[in-house]
Structure 1
Amino acid sequence: MRRVRPGDGRDLKRFRWWQHLSRALFHLHLTDGGTGRQVRYTVDVRHGQNQSSGNVKAQLYRDGKQLAVSKLPAAFPVHGGTIEVAMSAFGLKRCHYVTAEGYAQQLTPDPASAEGRRANLDRRHPTLSRTLGALSTVTLAAALALLLSQLAEKLTQPPEIAQHIGTFTSPVHLPVWMNVAVTLVTATASTERALRLRYSRFLDGGAG
């Protein structure tokens, strides 16, 4: 919370189609404790900007006006709890409202965003959605197994190590073009999971 800075009250800009891979937009409706009226909070993350340097920021809007800004990971205090925002290498991994009692609720993605379109696919075609999710998980698991086997082979090649524990030979050796293809497929699988805010330190952390 020490990272949070006051916003300047600027208006929230609507989502544009060309921002699908560079911007995330999520909404949360809460009841204001003082007035009893519905308030809409919006989290806007332009993760296509300065992601490599770690300078990505989350902007919090209240009823369309900028309320606060914070570097990621961010924790915005709101009525009844906190909005927590965090990123992986492929998109958001967390955008949740956490109450004072510890209950966590994921914010709703804007329908125009890539996350919103993925959520719409899940609602309209649940079987297809589950299949895509399963393929992403299997792809990352297979890529991780391949990476670990290649790493084990390299680590056991030096004679001073091999004489103590022996050498390990990876059962799979891929040409350069196939390694590139595996990297692209893995990035696609990680991006698909990020659109659903699914994150595993074991799978997605290894891919990222």
Structure 2
Amino acid sequence: MIKEYRRRRAARRVRPGDGRPLKRFRWWQLPFRALFHLRLPGEDGGHTAYAVDIRHWQNHTSDGLKAHLYRDGRQHALSRLPAAFPVPGGTVEVRMSAFGIRRCHYVPDEGPEHQLVPDPRSAEGRRARLDREHPALGRAIGLLSLCVLVGALAILVPQLAEQLTASEGIARHTGAFTSPVDLPKWGNIALGLATAAASTERALRLRYSLLLDGGAG
């Protein structure tokens, strides 16, 4: 029920495109552009090529970050994020997190959903290629990112509890709590940088957890 409501609400934000051509992905766009591809059966027996182009960290406008949907190389539609683009047989859903793409999936009317294919020149495409060509290394990096976020959460929660119970009004009912971990200022800065790097790595694989990545954002 909630998902369907959100999908209908996102679909109302879709606007027609102006037909401009899809630009090739350039290496210098790695930090602020994501590009994904989808091929769907066409009415004439062939295939229609769709592409979702997101210029995150660059394309912020007065009405929010936008995603652009291209069909056969021409801009077909655009929408403020989160987006839900109607396409033949289903919907393309796009969502962002604080560190990159949270979701870019084709959700068919019937059958299982699947992620769109990242452009091989994009950061997401390069991370996917690492998994294909060096699976052991790719798994190790993914596990390291997960461990960093779990460790950061284990440190952050006691520190927050200590700050909350420092108030006399709260401490009167719950008692004061002292965190077993007291990082110096430089330690908290290093932890913040590590969690940002870990969440960014997970975003390149379109991995998202509200507890881990949401807390990091």
TM range (shorter): over 0.9
Structure 2 gap ranges (5+): 1-10
Determine the structure 1 residue equivalent to 2:19: 9
Retained in 1: the 8 A contact 2:52–2:68? yes
CA drift of 1:164 comes to 2.0
1:22 aligns with 2:43: no
Number of the residue aligned with 2:66: 57
* Alpha-carbon shift at residue 163 of structure 1 (Å): 2.4
1:54, distance to aligned residue in structure 2 (A): 6.9
TM-score normalised according to structure 2 size: 0.92
What secondary structure sits across from 1:173 in the alignment? coil
Alignment partners' CA distance in 2, 1:43 and 1:27: 6
Deviates more, 1:188-197 or 1:12-21: 12-21
Give the structure 1 partner of residue 196 of structure 2.
187
Between the aligned partners of 1:112 and 1:170, the Cα distance in structure 2 is 45
Percent sequence identity over aligned pairs: 65
Would you say how many aligned residue pairs link Structure 1 and Structure 2? 207
- Confirm whether residue 203 of structure 1 aligns to residue 212 of structure 2: yes
Distance, in Å, in 2 between the alignment partners of 1:181 and 1:53 is: 33
Following superposition, the deviation at residue 102 of structure 1 comes to 5.0
117-126 vs 96-105, greater mean Cα deviation: 96-105
2:148 corresponds to: 139
Contact 2:59 2:66 in 1 (8 A): no
Runs ≥4 residues deviating over 6 A: none
Q: Which has the higher helix share?
A: 2
- The Cα of 1:36 is off from its aligned counterpart by 1.4
Structure 1: state its 5+ residue gaps. Answer: none
1:1-208 map, 5 Å = 1-32=11-42, 34-49=43-58, 51=60, 55-101=64-110, 103-208=112-217
RMSD of aligned Cα (Å): 1.3
1:44-82 Cα distance to aligned partner (Å, 9 max, x none): 000122559771100000111000000000000001100
Q: What is the rounded CA distance, in whole Å, between the counterparts of 1:160 and 1:57 in structure 2?
A: 44
* Equivalent AA in structure 2 for residue 178 of structure 1: G
